[in-house]
């Protein structure tokens, strides 16, 4: 029996996670997979109900589940809360408490969506990369942190970039293992020319790389990497990087892939994982049936693959999504008025994927 926790969250999170779960239920039911899905509030929705972005009960549910499906959290309503109570804290707590240190963010362009990318066709065509972002360390969690009062009446804001050898080793191994199943190239991204912490990062990654003589390892500074991502996205295979650099570079990579609404992610510790679209809660279009559910649907495919070794079912979802795109279904974020395309809402997009699975 597969036990899943569902945290749809806020804004379009509830809409896209809803479609992802519909797809999953259809697939499980039609393949006689036994499962149960238990749902709870997180983010702003949880704050409104319990005055906390995530409750002990929700955390327990996540810990006991085999995998977690996550929508998105946040919105203007909760932006002025203290940082500890903000919706984003739910996400960070789940990542940290479940020790989901490996965040996998693939970015691949569908030929049909090349026009949705702001980049030139010949630059983006054929792009297929995997960003491996360290997710439970670095400046997101380092101590000391906070805003402190100085004697002269000024304030001082502090965050700390910290990585230990172990933390770097385990994420590097993940990147090299993934590269082995792909084009056998790892690019480690750091700022080793300025930050000692990432100097250590570079040398530890190199050490791990010695155990993978069949994989080519190169290094790049993050500023250069952000330029090369736009200049020659095709050249990237696996990128391994720190928590914050990975956050930034993965948003950038979404423009190569056409829309952030297309990009899924997995946050892993072994088989245990949390699966979510990389986009946020998009309050501006929430509740209007406009959001693209593809990222959430593809996240569920990642779950089948990484948590349950159900590669065949994962491929069914991926193929169905590809077919739906080929057949011209477009949510607003990827709609370009091209011949043979049809502007659809969140629900119709989700249903189109299920109809494809029925064939």
Helix (H, G, I), strand (E, B) or coil at 10: coil
Contact call for residues 53 and 85 (beta carbons, < 8 A)? yes
Task: Write each residue from 231 to 250 as x if it is in contact with ligand IPM (CB under 6 A), else as -, in one continuous string.
Answer: ----------------x---
Is there a catalytic annotation at residue 247? yes
Q: What is the C-alpha to C-alpha distance for residues 329 and 350, in angstroms, rounded to an integer?
A: 10
Half-sphere exposure of 19 (CA within 13 A, CB side): 30
Find the binding residues for ligand IPM in span 28-67 (CB under 6 A).
none
Give me the catalytic one of 191, 272, 290, 316: 191
Is there a catalytic annotation at residue 284? no
> Which of 86-94, 112-120, 191-199, 207-215 is the region at the interface with ligand IPM (rule: CB under 6 A)?
86-94
Contact pick of 62, 69, 91, 124 for ligand IPM (by CB under 6 A): 91
Q: What's the N-to-C CA distance of the chain in angstroms?
A: 27
Contact pick of 66, 88, 169, 177 for ligand IPM (by CB under 6 A): 88
Which of 234, 243, 239, 252 has the alpha carbon at shortest distance from 174?
239
Is there a catalytic annotation at residue 223? yes
What are the contacts of 93-97 at 24+ separation with CB within 8 A?
93/53, 93/54, 93/59, 94/7, 94/42, 94/54, 94/59, 94/62, 94/68, 94/70, 94/274, 95/135, 95/136, 95/267, 95/274, 96/136, 96/141, 97/59, 97/62, 97/63
| For helices 165-180 and 196-209, angle between their N-to-C axes, nearest 10 degrees | 50
Q: Least distance (Å) from Mg ion to the CB of residue 320?
A: 27
Contact call for residues 281 and 9 (beta carbons, < 8 A)? yes
> Which of 26-34, 243-251, 265-273, 346-354 is the region at the interface with Mg ion (rule: CB under 5 A)?
243-251
Is there a catalytic annotation at residue 237? no
Does the protein bind ligand IPM through residue 268 (CB under 6 A)?
no
Give me the catalytic one of 251, 289, 347, 355: 251
Q: Least distance (Å) from ligand IPM to the CB of residue 174?
A: 17
Is there a catalytic annotation at residue 333? no
Q: What is the C-alpha to C-alpha distance for residues 343 and 341, in angstroms, rounded to an integer?
A: 7
Task: Write each residue from 174 to 213 as x if it is in contact with ligand IPM (CB under 6 A), else as -, in one continuous string.
Answer: ----------------------------------------
Of residues 10 and 247, the one with the C-beta less far from Mg ion: 247
Which residues of the shown chain bind ligand IPM in the complex (CB under 6 A)?
Answer: 88, 91-92, 247, 278
User: Which residue numbers are catalytic?
Assistant: 140, 191, 223, 247, 251
Which residues of the shown chain bind Mg ion in the complex (CB under 5 A)?
Answer: 247
């Amino acid at each position: 029996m597969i036990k899943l926790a569902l945290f749809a969250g806020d804004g379009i999170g509830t809409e896209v996670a809803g479609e992802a779960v519909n797809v999953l239920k259809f697939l499980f039911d039609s393949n006689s997979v036994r499962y149960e899905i238990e749902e709870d509030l997180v983010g702003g929705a949880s704050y409104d109900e319990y005055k906390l972005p995530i409750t002990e009960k929700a955390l327990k549910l996540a810990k006991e589940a085999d995998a977690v499906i996550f929508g998105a959290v946040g919105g203007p309503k909760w932006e002025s809360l203290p940082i500890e109570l903000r919706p984003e804290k739910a996400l960070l707590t789940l990542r940290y408490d479940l020790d989901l240190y490996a965040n996998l963010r693939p970015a691949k362009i569908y030929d049909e969506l090349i026009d949705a990318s702001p980049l030139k066709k010949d630059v983006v065509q054929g792009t297929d990369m995997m960003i491996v972002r360290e997710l439970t360390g670095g400046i997101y969690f380092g101590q000391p942190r906070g805003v402190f009062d100085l004697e002269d009446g000024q304030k001082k804001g502090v965050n700390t970039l910290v990585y230990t050898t172990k933390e770097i080793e385990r994420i590097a191994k993940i990147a090299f293992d993934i590269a082995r199943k792909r084009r056998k190239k790892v690019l480690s991204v750091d700022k080793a020319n300025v930050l000692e912490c990432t100097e250590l990062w570079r040398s530890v990654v190199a050490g791990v790389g010695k155990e993978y003589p069949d994989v080519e390892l190169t290094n790049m500074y993050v500023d250069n990497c952000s330029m090369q991502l736009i200049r020659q996205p095709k050249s990237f295979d696996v990128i391994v990087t720190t928590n914050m650099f990975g956050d930034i570079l993965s948003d950038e990579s979404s423009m190569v892939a056409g829309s952030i609404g297309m990009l899924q992610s997995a946050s892993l510790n072994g088989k245990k994982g949390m699966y979510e679209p990389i986009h946020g809660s998009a309050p501006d279009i929430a509740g209007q049936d406009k959001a693209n559910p593809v990222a959430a649907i593809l996240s569920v495919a990642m779950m089948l693959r990484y948590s349950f070794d159900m590669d065949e079912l994962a491929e069914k979802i991926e193929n169905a999504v590809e077919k739906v795109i080929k057949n011209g279904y477009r949510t607003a974020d990827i709609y370009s008025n091209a011949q043979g395309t049809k502007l659809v809402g969140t629900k119709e997009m989700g249903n189109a994927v299920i109809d494809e699975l029925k064939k």
